[in-house]
Structure 1
Amino acid sequence: MTSAAVHSVRSLRTPGLLLAIALAPVGALAQTPDLVGDWSGALEVAGTRLPIVFHITADDEGYAATMDSPNQGAFGIPAGRPSVEGDRVTIAVAAVGGSWTGTAAGDTLAGEWTQAGQALPLVLVRGGPAAPPPPARPQHPEPPFPYDVEEVRYPVPGTDVELAGTLTLPPGDGPFVAALLITGSGPQNRDEEVMGHRVFAVLADALTRAGIAVLRVDDRGVGESTGDFSAATSDDFARDAAAGVAFLKEHARVDPQAVGLVGHSEGGLVAPMVAAEVETAFSVLLAGPAVNGEEVLVAQTAHMQRAQGVPPAQVEANRTAIRAVARILRERPREVWADEVREALMASVPAGVPEAQAAQVRAAVDGQVQSFVTPWMARFVAYDPRPALEALDGPVLALFGALDAQVLPSQNLTPMREALADNPEATVEVLDGLNHLFQPAESGLPTEYAQIETTVDPAALDRVARWILAVTR
């Protein structure tokens, strides 16, 4: 059904629960005081244990619930009003399109989590074990630092946006080689925090210790930066990055001839756009797409769902849904996007589904449509990065993690090499055993991100630092 595609697309934008919308039975509302409390259990997903906690309260209208997925950094997800029919309990979580159904027996709720055509056992215990402590993050930099730290602000010319960030500088007068970090998709702060990992804080720390000045910045409308993130596209982020390059070139301790770009994920798409407009000394593309956004989303969705055991017919239905949505965003006027995207998604709900279940799917789709009908998504699905990549001159380092489940090397490696083939200073590499965040991983699925202690593989950090210094000497 379409609904599984809905969350896959959304997860590219903001990493979160990799749970897809599914059909689940809906019961009649009833009062059972025994449900009030915190209920904990764990899903086994693709060989990964994923703790789940439901918080259930009672009010004059019945029950209310929220859900946490601690390992994924997701808390307080609205879970609507649990329904009860005899000893059968249903908790529908429209925000992620999942549903739990089971039987109440004292302090235990035994049942299944249903989504994407799958049913996974999930036994909930009142109270249950305490939520596991957050995994250690040994790479997160802590003061005192062996370098200088400046909090900075600067305007984006031609807009009312003012960006705020952190500039780290090696000790001494310089002038230093400098790198501007460009975040991935979704509203990111300057540290590019993903699943409890401060990816850009770790990257900036490693590069600055190696002798490179680094500027990392809150996205427009995020943290201390002004502006409206929801109205922005990759073109706006390129404009913001160009302003960061200009800021660095004017800094007294930065060599204006040695300012370059390091972009991660969508940032790897934005960096070539910036380099086409302003002079830069180098470009590092970390998991940057080399095909258009529609193809990225289709491949990402299929790869993740196959890895999670989604039936092949369901995977194909989701691929069809994504292509239908992309076509609407490319070809139809904006005022009809919401209605037509909703219609396209609902069209792939299997025939013969009981009305109560179909109604639940419709409600879940309605809760997700707005994540599709944005200026960013319309630009992303249509944008082909290849011309900007072909125009890149000067030193380029494009790195992929072999286990990346979001920007697949199998899809992007060859197009990246072809696009950069005429640039004698371009290097394209795949790093074995690493995922989209360049962590050492097992499956590469985002469900692992929070559970891995390493934020960025030290060898990958060293590769980037050494390459930047080598090409700017």
Structure 2
Amino acid sequence: MDSRTNRPEKKLKMKLSTLCLLFLFLCHGAFAQEAKPAVEYISEDVTFPNKVDSITLAGTFSFPQTNGKFPAVIIISGSGGQNRDGLMLGHKPYQVIADHLTKNGFAVLRYDDRGIGASTGVMKGADIADFTRDAKAALVYLRSRKEVDTKKTGIIGHSEGGAIGLAVAAEDPSLGFLVSMAGPGVDGVQMILAQTEAIYRNMGMKDSMVRIKVAEQRAMVTAIAEEPDTAKLKARIAENAQIQYAANPSLKPSVTEDNYTKMLVNAYMVPEYLSIIRFDPAKYYPSVKCPVLAMNGAKDIQVISSVNLAGWQKGIRGVTIKELPGLNHLFQECRTCSVQEYKTITQTISPAALDELTSWARQITGLQK
């Protein structure tokens, strides 16, 4: 999940959303832990329609080489446009997850987000509701495959994908299971405020300044949560930006008030980000009937484990909660655990995270007695 933070123009990277910061580093990481073609399973490039939105999604479907019908999952990506492998910072986490699961007896469908890779449609302007329709279309296709045991189909969603998976699970009583990997467990306002505090503390900012930055963020995200009218919301964000500018004299040498206001309005008025802030898991929890695994890295500074896992724990009876020590938002073993560190870590996903995910899924689907 991403955030919006406010800094002088000369430090624009730290002022953009965490998601945008990730993409600034996209081409600079070293590829690591990339799965290689395996004789244990078959992979096919596939396409399937989202008939509601008249687009075609493209992905990879993998399944074990042996005969029979297999429990199956779709992998749903986090925020921002991602391809079927989840390519970011030189890592391909969804490819690694799919490889591990398929080697352990699952059929797996992962797909390019709309407007990304070989998928049609447009990413810009899309939000959680749009991505939820894409996920439903993926699930329909998954269940149409002869290799799939339709009674044992599930969803694995990372970050925003956890929210999308939750929305699908709430509407689909036949879903076999749901795995949230660092998915939001509380409403978007709480999630982003906890994230904002954690990111600034990770940067080494003094407590007094952290409180100021959290208060600035609270004004922004509260406006988003409260105001459905686009024009009125834009005006409130602009007003908040002007207040922030006046309170931060250090901004004046590097950026004008007008440019600062425009920059923040553009940063916050993004449909996907608005939908993240307005998403409230509590609306969906009561309707979820399938087994749920909620996983988080204990060192995640984007979706804070203590805050969000508590939301899952409170919201869903019988949920399995796993907080994994030493792991960041991407489930990598980390040292500083900052967003900037993601690209320097050679590990794509911790083996401990892969084992927790696969072991639970195998037990739920009967592959592991």
Q: Say yes or no: TM over 0.5.
A: yes
Alignment of 1:58-69 (within 5 A): none
Counterpart in 2 of 1:11? Answer: 17
Q: 1:396 to 1:156 in 2, by over 3 A?
A: same
Secondary structure of the 1:258 match is: strand
Q: Assess, with a 3 A threshold, how the Cα gap between structure 1 residues 432 and 359 changes in structure 2: closer, same or farther.
A: closer
| Bigger RCO of structures 1 and 2 (CA < 8 A, at least 6 apart) | 2
206-215 vs 358-367, which moves further: 358-367
Q: Whose helix fraction is larger, Structure 1's or Structure 2's?
A: 2
Contact 2:180–2:293 (Cα < 8 Å) also in 1 = yes
User: Counterparts of 1:282 and 1:8 in 2: how far apart (Å)?
Assistant: 37
The alignment partner of 2:137 has SS state of: helix
Distance in 1 separating the partners of 2:244 and 2:264: 15
Gaps of 5+ in 2: none
Matched, 1:186 2:80: yes
Which has the greater radius of gyration? 1
Q: 1:359 to 1:135 in 2, by over 3 A?
A: closer
Tell me which amino acid in the other structure corresponds to 2:6: S
Tell me what 1:73 maps to: 26
Report the counterpart of residue 22 of structure 1 in structure 2.
none
How far apart are 1:7 and its partner, in Å? 6.4
Structure-2 separation of matches of 1:367 and 1:293:
22
The corresponding residue for 1:387 is: 283
In structure 2, which of residues 306, 311, 317 is the aligned counterpart of residue 410 of structure 1?
306
- 1:46-57 aligned within 5 A: none
| Counterpart position of 1:213 | 107
**Correspondence 1:370 to 2:323:** no
Q: How does 1:292-307 map to 2 (within 5 A)?
A: 292-307=187-202
One-letter amino acid of the structure 1 residue matched with residue 168 of structure 2:
V
Change (3 A) 1:142 1:361: farther
Asked if 1 retains the 8 angstrom alpha-carbon contact of 2:154 and 2:176, the reply is yes
Deviation at 1:73, TM superposition (A): 2.9
Q: Structure 1: which amino acid aligns with 2:7?
A: A
2:297 corresponds, among 372, 396, 401, to 401
Q: Which amino acid aligns with 1:327?
A: T
2:62 is matched with: 168
Q: How many Å separate the matches in 2 of 1:354 and 1:268?
A: 38
Query: Could you report, residue by residue, the CA deviation over 1:123-166 in whole angstroms, capped at 9, with x for unpaired residues?
Result: xxxxxxxxxxx5351x1012355311111111113211211111
CA distance in 2, matches of 1:9, 1:277: 37
Q: Which secondary structure state, in structure 1, belongs to the residue aligned with residue 61 of structure 2? A: strand
What one-letter code is carried by the residue in structure 2 that aligns with 1:3? N
Distance 1:273 1:461 in 2: 24
CA RMSD, 1 decimal: 2.5
State the match for 1:121 in structure 2.
Answer: none
One-letter amino acid of the counterpart of residue 399, structure 1: M
Query: For the Cα contact (< 8 Å) 1:178–1:260, is it kept in 2?
Result: yes
1:14/1:185 contact within 8 Å kept: no
Who is 1:280 aligned against?
175
8 Å contact 2:5–2:16 — kept in the other structure? Answer: no
Q: What residue in structure 2 maps to residue 324 of structure 1? A: 219
Which letter does structure 2 place at the counterpart of 1:11?
S
Segment of structure 1 superposing worse, 332-341 or 163-172: 332-341
Change (3 A) 1:287 1:354: closer
Q: Distance in 2 between matches of 1:352 and 1:393?
A: 49
Matched letter for residue 17 of structure 2: S
> SS at 1:169's partner residue?
strand
1:16-27 paired onto structure 2 within 5 Å: 16=22
Mapped to 2, the partners of 1:188 and 1:303 lie a distance apart of: 25
Q: CA deviation at 1:454?
A: 0.9
Question: What percent identity do the matched residue pairs reach?
Answer: 33
- Tell me whether 1:229 sits opposite 2:123 in the alignment: yes
SS in 1 for 2:67: coil
SS of the residue corresponding to residue 22 of structure 2 reads coil
CA contact (8 A) 1:433 1:440 kept: yes
- The AA in structure 2 aligned to 1:254 is V
Alignment partners' CA distance in 2, 1:249 and 1:258 = 9
- State the partner residue of 2:346: 453
Q: CA deviation at 1:13?
A: 3.7
1:290 matched to 2:185? The reply is: yes
1:265 aligns to 2:159 (yes or no): yes
- Counterpart-to-counterpart distance in 2, 1:440 and 1:308: 19
Equivalent residue number for residue 142 of structure 1: 36
Per the alignment, do residues 215 and 14 of structure 1 end up closer, same or farther by CA in structure 2, a change over 3 Å counting? farther
The 1:136–1:191 alpha-carbon spacing in structure 2 relative to 1, beyond 3 Å, is closer
| Cα drift, residue 272 of structure 1 | 1.3
- Map 1:111-130 to 2 at 5 A: none
Match of 1:252 in 2: 146
Q: CA deviation at 1:251?
A: 0.3
CA shift, 1:15, in A, is: 4.4
CA distance 1:173–1:341, shift in 2 (3 Å): same
One-letter identity of the residue aligned with 1:435: N
